[in-house]
Chains A and B, each alone.
Chain A
Amino acid sequence: MVLKVDWLNKSFGKKRILKDISFELNTGEILTIIGPSGAGKTTLLRCINGLEKSDRGTIFIDNAYLCRDYNDKNIYARSREMKEIRQKIGMVFQNYNLFPHMTVMENIIEAPIHVLGLSRDEAVNRAYELLESLGLEDKTDSYPFQLSGGQKQRVAIARALCLNPKILCLDEPTSALDPELRGGIASIIENLASKGMAILIITHDMDFAKRVATRVIFMEDGRIIKEGEKEEFFNSFKDDRIRKFMVL
């Protein structure tokens, strides 16, 4: 188990966004969280990668607590531990958030050099290997605006992987892709999982979830409604809300 979320709660003002969320993620697993917009999927992901702070509950990442309840308070890791925990989570944003003024290579090596303390040569070698594995070795000196959507996404994946994370999170990885590119990102994800990476995907693309997931969580209105291994999940159409969502 590389990620464990336990009784996580989060409100914005009076609105409860996450209600008692609990789940686990293991190495080599591809967990997709599906659900309608407004279900709290993105907030959940933002709590896990530390961009939002939860109000209550536990997030446990690779033997360290990002946050936990103590004496009726939600305690967060100190900033040094936080930095270490962050390195274990790679994040691929929906719109990638590449740095537009940096080349592909500079985008990828910035954090390994300044956060991990790698030498420039080490970082470049590591980045080049990643780019090669993603079929982008000829794009090292391109700027993000010169890349297609799919290429930008792969750069964002390389940037996240270059910090050697244990978990890779992807927010709506297919939303900005042409349909014919979805197979490509799916095989990249499957390949990473087969090497032991734990993968957490947020999507409302059901076909994509069906294709890549090993396990599926359905969220609605801040709660986990259903969770199951892929076969089991998609074969049981008993739950009306899920069926409604899947037909949509």
Chain B
Amino acid sequence: MLSYILTLLPSILEGLVMTLKVFFVTLVLSIPLGVIVSIFRLSRFKPLSKITELYIWVMRGSPLMLQIVFIFFGLPIVGIAFDRFTAVIIAFVLNYAAYFGEIFRGGIESIDRGQYEAAKVLGLSPYRTFMRIILPQVIKIVLPSISNEVITLVKDTSLVYIVGLGELLRAGKIASIRDVSLVPLVLVTVAYLLLTAIFTVAFNKIEKRYSYYE
């Protein structure tokens, strides 16, 4: 049994590397983009706010799998082609930025108007006000929702198999079918659980760090 598991490990680890690559690149790009999306969505310039609303609706209202398919298989028809990994990252980042955008919007809207007014009468610029006064308070508020999204992202990475990228779940599935065994899938499940456990602990730490004020 143990020796069987050992034979599986190389391909599963390879899949894990792809999963982590998609995960981290998506996270690093989509969170800042989400902040921008929320600002656009809250913009007093109506066309910008409306277009952002439409974007959020499309991204949240259709399956991520279809978005990947359209970007990788659909865009080449109109002459825009990406390699597999880039296409996947574009789809994931656009999709997750919409979710993060809505989370940040909720956070920004929950900040008391008095905070903006205090910053304004002190003469702080709108940019400084957002970066120094509003955003730090928003981050504390949205952390639990962000951590929820992050855990969903870990599992959503399995969708990249659709363009033929070998990630964790695909590695398990191939071995499972080849060997007519559930063991590879159990192994893959354990890997996902370990990943989510690590990120949960990490987020708890971050939340604790933000609990220095009430």
- Please give the residue numbers on chain A whose beta carbons come within 8 Å of chain B beta carbons, in ascending order: 49-51, 83, 86-87, 89, 91, 93, 95, 97-101, 110-111, 114-115, 143-145, 159, 163
Contact = CB atoms under 8 A, between A and B. Distances in A.
Contacts of B61: none
Contact of B121 (A91, A100, A143, A144): A91
B123 interface: yes
Nearest to B128: A114
Nearest to A83: B123
B50 interface: no
Contact of A101 (B114, B123, B128, B140): B140
Interface string B86-118: 000000000000000000000000001011011
B114 A93 contact: yes
Which bracket fits the contact residues of B?
20 to 34
Nearest to B117: A51
B124 interface: yes
Given A51-B120, A114-B128, A144-B213, A100 B114 contact: no
Contact of B124 (A100, A110, A145): A110
Contacts of B118: 91, 93, 97-99
A211 to B, nearest CB: 26
B121 A101 contact: no
Main secondary structure of the interface of B (DSSP, over half): helix
Nearest to A112: B122
B112 A97 contact: yes
B121 A51 contact: yes
A114 B122 CA distance: 10
Interface of B: 112, 114-115, 117-118, 120-125, 128, 132-133, 136-137, 140, 212-214
Contacts of A145: 213-214
A98 to B, nearest CB: 8
Contacts of B136: 101
A89 B120 CA distance: 12
B124 A49 contact: no
B213 A95 contact: no
A152 B125 CA distance: 24
A166 B62 CA distance: 58
B210 to A, nearest CB: 8
B123 A111 contact: yes
B59 to A, nearest CB: 31
A89 B112 CA distance: 22
Contacts of A144: 213
Nearest to A90: B121
B122 to A, nearest CB: 4
A87 B124 CA distance: 10
A86 B121 contact: yes
B114 A110 contact: no
